[in-house]
């Protein structure tokens, strides 16, 4: 009898280990966006709600490398490459926020999930708002990472847009590096800064510039009319957030700030970021 229980115990342990291993194994997939561009994405784990991670400007799904193993233990996790990024197609002529929203919606629809939290970094705060309009019947929550500090800021003025865009158009590799370096605090890991700058410098300049131009031209406030779920902003304090402004436009708006970090807070302090994001997900699930 003792041997039977011992064997059962071993089987339970092996089953638990198998589940953990399965949770970390990527199932790489593709789906066509509305305009026919191939969108590459990876799926991990099981559980509800499904967490869909969306990278920012000149990024890829690899930016979530510290989040996927953590959250895949409990949830189904999806990480995708927007069109023009990572392993997704690059034949799109204009890289609008609306089209990126269609990329996200295509992935969610392909996975046939109806309980979804979209998590978008930087410019993808707007992307997940665009996707929400298309799949709002599936939405349980929206989490914007270090973005949407002020809903009234967008669209950006021509003068401000020109200030950012002209250097990128003149010498993308050199000036994108300076641009990205300004998104870190003075205490940030130099190796991380170098890695992020290197990744951006390898981006296609035409795609990158089209993306940021369209981002600057996208108004946020009209997108809020379709938000029927909690919208959380998990921001660093490198730039100020304006909850008193944002709350005027969206009753379900919430803000949480992690002090002392820069724009890539999920890479700079992944443990603290994961704890904060996990708590936000718990708040959404209540």
Q: What is the pLDDT of residues 156-207, one digit of tens each?
A: 999 999 999 999 999 999 999 999 999 999 999 999 999 999 999 999 999 9
Q: What is the pLDDT of residues 234-249, one digit of tens each?
A: 999 999 999 999 999 9
Distance CA 24, CA 134 (A): 29
Question: For 90-163, where are the E strands, in sequence order?
Answer: 116-121, 139-145
Q: What is the pLDDT of residues 5-36, one digit of tens each?
A: 455 544 444 444 444 444 455 699 999 999 99
The owner of tokens 């443990």 is: 271
The CATH code for residues 28-285 is 3.40.50.1820
- HSE, CB side, 13 Å, CA atoms: give it for residue 180: 25
Distance CA 176, CA 98 (A): 24
Q: Find residue 32's DSSP bridge partners.
A: 38
Distance CA 102, CA 35 (A): 9
């Amino acid at each position: 009898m003792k041997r039977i229980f011992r064997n059962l115990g071993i089987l339970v342990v092996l089953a638990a280990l198998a589940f953990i291993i399965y949770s970390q194994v990527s199932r790489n997939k593709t789906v066509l966006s509305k305009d026919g561009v191939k969108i590459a994405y990876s799926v991990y784990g099981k559980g509800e709600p499904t967490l869909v991670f969306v990278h920012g400007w000149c990024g890829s799904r690899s930016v979530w490398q510290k989040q996927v193993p953590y959250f895949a233990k409990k949830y189904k996790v999806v990480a995708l490459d927007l069109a023009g990024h990572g392993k997704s197609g690059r034949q799109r002529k204009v890289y609008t926020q609306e089209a990126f929203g269609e990329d996200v919606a295509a992935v969610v629809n392909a996975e046939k999930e109806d309980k979804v939290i979209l998590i978008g970094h930087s410019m993808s705060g707007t992307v997940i708002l665009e996707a929400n309009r298309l799949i709002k019947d599936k939405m349980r929550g929206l989490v914007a990472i270090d973005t949407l500090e002020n809903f009234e800021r967008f669209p950006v003025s021509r003068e401000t847009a020109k200030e950012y865009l002209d250097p990128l158009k003149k010498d993308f590799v050199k000036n994108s590096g300076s641009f990205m370096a300004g998104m870190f605090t003075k205490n940030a890991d130099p190796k991380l800064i170098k890695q992020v700058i290197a990744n951006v410098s390898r981006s296609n300049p035409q795609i990158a510039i089209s993306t940021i131009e369209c981002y600057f031209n996208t108004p946020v406030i009209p997108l809020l009319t379709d938000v029927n779920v909690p919208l959380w902003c998990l921001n660093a304090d490198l730039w100020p957030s304006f909850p008193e402004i944002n709350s005027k436009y969206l009753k379900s708006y919430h803000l949480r700030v992690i002090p002392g970090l820069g724009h890539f807070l999920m890479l700079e302090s992944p443990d603290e970021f994961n704890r904060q994001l996990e708590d936000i997900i718990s708040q959404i699930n209540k």
